[in-house]
Structure 1
Amino acid sequence: MQDLVVDEGRRSRVAELIRRLDPDIRKALQLDDAAVVGADLLVSLCRLLMDDSSQPWQDRLDAFFEEFTLDDVEAGIGFTVAQLQDRDQATAWMNSFKGRNYQLFALRLLGAAEFRRLVEAFKEDSAVVALAFRRGIRALMPFAVAWSDALNNMTENQRKAVSRADLLSIELARGIAMIDEKVGEKVIATLPMQLTAATASDLSSWSPENLTEIVASVRHRVAESSVKRLERENAQLVRKIRGAKDALMHSEDGISQAANSLIELIDRVMRETFSKEEVVAWAEACLPDEPLLTFEKDGATLPTKRAEALCFVYRGGAVAREASQYDDGQGPFLVHDALARVIVATRTSLQKFKHDDSGTQEEKDQLLSLLNGLEGALLLGLSLAQIGVSSDGAPAEVDA
């Protein structure tokens, strides 16, 4: 494997130092080329993901891949995949380097000064990876809050209908906060974060005890993201959400007005995405065995609201996927099914406020909860439509 020209501003400090070692010393330290390139790829990618410059993503990715040969990339990825596939081997490999005997051996072999530089480089690389991990975990929070808000709009029976993998019972937001807190305490607090691009916000840990404040802040981002995605579809739809919020704040019969605006929003999103004929054709082609997606009226076949919602979250695309231990591969995928049911359940609940408006604070709070859930469902539905879903149902990427 050929030596590479190292960009000290982007690349792994550990990889840079190890490449300068005598080949016999590297062999004695069990530091093969694949492990070195794997570390270099990881650190470089983490720096790339955290790059706040205005340079387009495509240009940054091109520059990233230009720094590595194809052989390097294959070797680094192959090493990483091998470690992920055999966790016991990976754990033993890591523990051997962390062990006191190995460190004493490396100290004697390298000398005090070189050993100290290697340890400092390792800590600096670890700080970069830890920061990227924390930011990545936090980037999932808007989707966790959107998911939670959306599911709150479903009845208990509807939740049971889509709980095939027990995913609906997981407290995603709390889980993310707990992971974030542990990363802060056990990892970030021990590393030289001042050598990274970490901000004060990055270094301030989330805590499950402060989950209410965290969720409230993130929910505002969910609403903004939902509005932005809707605006790409149709600016008039955005006015429906804003109109509903304004009605709740300023109108005497604001609850009824807001409910009407949100019902019209749901109907228009569905109607303007696919016609009823297109929904029926999609349901018959993609979900022929799924019940209650169509009905007959005056000699015509029409789609149910659930069919319209499913077609919307699937964007009229394929439903078929490979079976796994968590999913039999039949019918709509768990996430799509849940979001479709949320949209329908929200519309049904809004109908009650449309005709039964007493103007109480309790009703206003309930309607605001429905609005939060609707914004969450639309954010997730539009995100799924944009990024696509892999064959096992997992999102191909996350964009908050």
Structure 2
Amino acid sequence: MDDTNSQPWQDRLVALFEEFDLTDIQAGLDFTISQMQDHDRLLAWFNSLKGTNYQLFALRLLGAAEYRRLIEAFKADSAIVALALRRGIRALMPFAVAWSDALGNMTEQQRKTVSKTDLLGLELARGIATIDEKIGEKIISILPMQLTVATGDDLSDWRPDKLSEVIISARRRVAESSAKRLERENSQLVRKIKGAKDALMHSEDGISQAANSLIELIDRIMRETFSKTEVLAWVKANLPSEPELTHDRAGITLPTKRAEALCFVYRGGPVAREANEHDDGRGPSLIHDTLARAIVITRTSLQKFKHGDDGTQEEKDQLLALLTGLEGALLLGLSLSHASGPAMPNSLPAGSDT
């Protein structure tokens, strides 16, 4: 939680756990976890901790001074945990906004093609704001946050009914993060997005110019990540029965745009996974498939503006919405693909140049 530490927070967290040797308390942890799985026993335990009798017992056992020190130490540690929890929840907001913007480029029918459940319709940003508000009301408000490195922003609650400023700020972070990740892939790709925005602002035929730039951006990032031959090899190894991934042109089998987008968001890695109540474990996962389709649908929508436009404000708004959704899809797609690491041996053939 030290903002002055130059190490990434992930490294600081690893270093924290490395300071403790948990081997001596493994049996105790196993027992505690087994006890906590009993809901009635857990509830009774929490109620007893809050009860006056337990507090009086602890007071007599420890003495007034030690009991007071224990309570103060518990509150101080809880304040640090509460700050970490709030910052962790808030770190999810740009991804929630990116997800919402990416889905915004899909119609309701297109969403149903991906999933027949209501998972895609979840208002993640509002849900995060609601959790954040509860953390502030129920936890942070009663803890000595002045003992932590909490800033004014950390202590200011997000309210679900006043989300517009939070979402605008998160959307800026999505655009910045998307640009940074594109920069790692190819600095020229970043100029495509910047060129599209500049064209919309200053050019008389800016809408068609912007659409062309964004279509070229999508095509280049797919083409430069994996070749068509590599995409076909990946499809054959991972999704041989999935429809809409290949097509024939002049007797030659080629991957579809959806196949290229799927291979991109999977980083050429394996698709196999465990089944659950929302996912049978076969075919692409809900998140990967949604992002791949969002990228392809955005490209298709951009085609309408490619060869001409009327220059109306409505068209500019539509194109800006497509651009925002594309930035969201690319941020999440690049985040997923980088998290997956390099292509797996069982996914792409040996000798792949990716």
TM-based fold match above 0.5: yes
State the one-letter code of the partner of 1:105.
F
1:114 aligns with 2:66: yes
1:362 aligns with 2:320: no
**Range 227-236 or range 101-110, more displaced:** 101-110
C-alpha deviation, 1:78, in angstroms: 4.0
C-alpha deviation, 1:281, in angstroms: 1.3
Q: Give 1:136's match in structure 2, choosing from 78, 88, 98.
A: 88
In structure 2, runs of 5+ residues without a counterpart are: 342-354
State the match for 1:260 in structure 2. 212
State the match for 2:42 in structure 1. 90
Residues 219-250 of structure 1 deviation map (CA, whole Å, 9 limit, x = unaligned): 00000000000100110100100000111111
* Distance (Å, rounded) in 2 between the aligned partners of 1:157 and 1:143: 23
* Distance (Å, rounded) in 1 between the aligned partners of 2:150 and 2:286: 37
State the one-letter code of the partner of 1:273.
T
Q: Give 2:200's match in structure 1, choosing from 248, 272, 282.
A: 248
Residues 27-76 of structure 1 deviation map (CA, whole Å, 9 limit, x = unaligned): xxxxxxxxxxxxxxxxxxxx5xx554013668645642442124157457
Contact kept, 8 Å, 2:195 with 2:213, in 1: the verdict is yes
1:305 to 1:66, Cα distance in 2 relative to 1, 3 A: closer
State the match for 1:291 in structure 2. 243
1:66 to 1:325, Cα distance in 2 relative to 1, 3 A: closer
Residues 68-101 of structure 1 deviation map (CA, whole Å, 9 limit, x = unaligned): 1241574576467546644444333322212222
Residues 184-242 of structure 1 deviation map (CA, whole Å, 9 limit, x = unaligned): 01110111000111010100000012111110010000000000001001101001000
State the one-letter code of the partner of 1:156.
E
State the match for 1:384 in structure 2. 336
* Distance (Å, rounded) in 2 between the aligned partners of 1:52 and 1:73: 33
C-alpha deviation, 1:107, in angstroms: 1.5
1:326 aligns with 2:292: no
**Range 94-103 or range 358-367, more displaced:** 94-103
* Distance (Å, rounded) in 1 between the aligned partners of 2:284 and 2:94: 24
1:167 to 1:243, Cα distance in 2 relative to 1, 3 A: same
Instruction: Give the secondary structure class of the aligned counterpart of 1:301.
Output: strand
Superposition pairs for residues 212-231 of structure 1, below 5 Å?
212-231=164-183
State the match for 1:194 in structure 2. 146
Contact kept, 8 Å, 2:269 with 2:340, in 1: the verdict is no
State the one-letter code of the partner of 1:348.
T
Q: Matched residues, percent identical?
A: 74
Superposition pairs for residues 45-56 of structure 1, below 5 Å?
47=1, 52-55=4-7
State the one-letter code of the partner of 1:369.
A
State the match for 2:302 in structure 1. 350
State the one-letter code of the partner of 2:182.
L
C-alpha deviation, 1:344, in angstroms: 0.6
1:76 to 1:277, Cα distance in 2 relative to 1, 3 A: farther
1:157 aligns with 2:109: yes
Q: Give 1:277's match in structure 2, choosing from 222, 229, 235.
A: 229
Which of the pair has the greater relative contact order for Cα pairs under 8 Å at 6+ separation?
Answer: 2
**Range 81-90 or range 236-245, more displaced:** 81-90
**Range 73-82 or range 260-269, more displaced:** 73-82
Contact kept, 8 Å, 2:178 with 2:330, in 1: the verdict is yes
Q: Give 2:21's match in structure 1, choosing from 55, 69, 75.
A: 69
* Distance (Å, rounded) in 1 between the aligned partners of 2:264 and 2:14: 34
State the match for 1:171 in structure 2. 123
1:99 aligns with 2:51: yes
* Distance (Å, rounded) in 2 between the aligned partners of 1:148 and 1:192: 35
1:69 to 1:270, Cα distance in 2 relative to 1, 3 A: same
Contact kept, 8 Å, 1:280 with 1:303, in 2: the verdict is yes
Contact kept, 8 Å, 2:267 with 2:340, in 1: the verdict is no
* Distance (Å, rounded) in 1 between the aligned partners of 2:111 and 2:292: 12
* Distance (Å, rounded) in 2 between the aligned partners of 1:143 and 1:59: 21
1:57 to 1:168, Cα distance in 2 relative to 1, 3 A: closer
Contact kept, 8 Å, 2:222 with 2:264, in 1: the verdict is yes
State the one-letter code of the partner of 1:287.
L
1:84 to 1:386, Cα distance in 2 relative to 1, 3 A: farther
* Distance (Å, rounded) in 2 between the aligned partners of 1:203 and 1:334: 35
* Distance (Å, rounded) in 1 between the aligned partners of 2:180 and 2:73: 41
* Distance (Å, rounded) in 2 between the aligned partners of 1:91 and 1:267: 56
Residues 297-341 of structure 1 deviation map (CA, whole Å, 9 limit, x = unaligned): 111100111111111101111001111122111110000000011
* Distance (Å, rounded) in 1 between the aligned partners of 2:36 and 2:102: 33
1:86 to 1:137, Cα distance in 2 relative to 1, 3 A: farther
State the match for 2:188 in structure 1. 236
Contact kept, 8 Å, 1:147 with 1:380, in 2: the verdict is yes
State the one-letter code of the partner of 1:374.
L
Contact kept, 8 Å, 1:165 with 1:327, in 2: the verdict is no
1:83 to 1:209, Cα distance in 2 relative to 1, 3 A: farther
* Distance (Å, rounded) in 2 between the aligned partners of 1:78 and 1:51: 34
* Distance (Å, rounded) in 2 between the aligned partners of 1:331 and 1:140: 27
* Distance (Å, rounded) in 2 between the aligned partners of 1:300 and 1:84: 60
